Amino acid sequence: RKEVEQDPGPFNVPEGATVAFNCTYSNSASQSFFWYRQDCRKEPKLLMSVYSSGNEDGRFTAQLNRASQYISLLIRDSKLSDSATYLCVVSYNNAGNMLTFGGGTRLMVKP
């Protein structure tokens, strides 16, 4: 079983749609949670950290359920520029942040 699991997609959605990605993790000692975005042939870029109380940043909302070891990302009013791969990242501290990446979910927003 992978430590961090995501549906690889692709999710093909029209502009303006709402789309949700889920992620599950197996290490109950995980302490920090993030969503990164990666464009083709580019580096991963931090989209948002995920807090226990849930957090929102504009059109993006992230939720964490520690009991179920589950993280979600909701994108409202999708834009063409949201097309990318979204990486769920889980970390625990062990001589540095041990980031474990999910396999990524590919999103394609169509006109």
Partner 1 sequence: DTEVTQTPKHLVMGMTNKKSLKCEQHMGHRAMYWYKQKAKKPPELMFVYSYEKLSINESVPSRFSPECPNSSLLNLHLHALQPEDSALYLCASSQDRGRIGSEAFFGQGTRLTVV
CB atoms within 10 A of CB 68: 8
Q: Which of residues 20-79 bind partner 1 (CB under 8 A)?
A: 31-32, 34, 41-46, 49
Our CB check for partner 1 shows the closer of 28 and 111 to be 28
Distance from C-alpha of 93 to C-alpha of 96, rounded to nearest angstrom: 6
Cβ pair 86, 60 in contact under 8 A:
no
Q: Number of helices and strands (H, E) in the chain? A: 0, 11
Assess 101 for contact with partner 1 (CB under 8 A).
yes
- Which of 13, 17, 74, 99 touches partner 1 by CB under 8 A? 99
Return the bridge partners of 53, or none.
Answer: none
- Which of 12, 18, 26, 93 touches partner 1 by CB under 8 A? 93
Q: How many residues does the chain have?
A: 111
- In whole angstroms, the minimum distance from the beta carbon of 31 to partner 1 comes to 5
- Which of 12, 26, 65, 97 touches partner 1 by CB under 8 A? 97
Distance from C-alpha of 106 to C-alpha of 11, rounded to nearest angstrom: 6
- Which of 64, 87, 90, 109 touches partner 1 by CB under 8 A? 87
User: What is the binding site for partner 1 (CB under 8 A)?
Assistant: 31-32, 34, 41-46, 49, 87, 91, 93-104
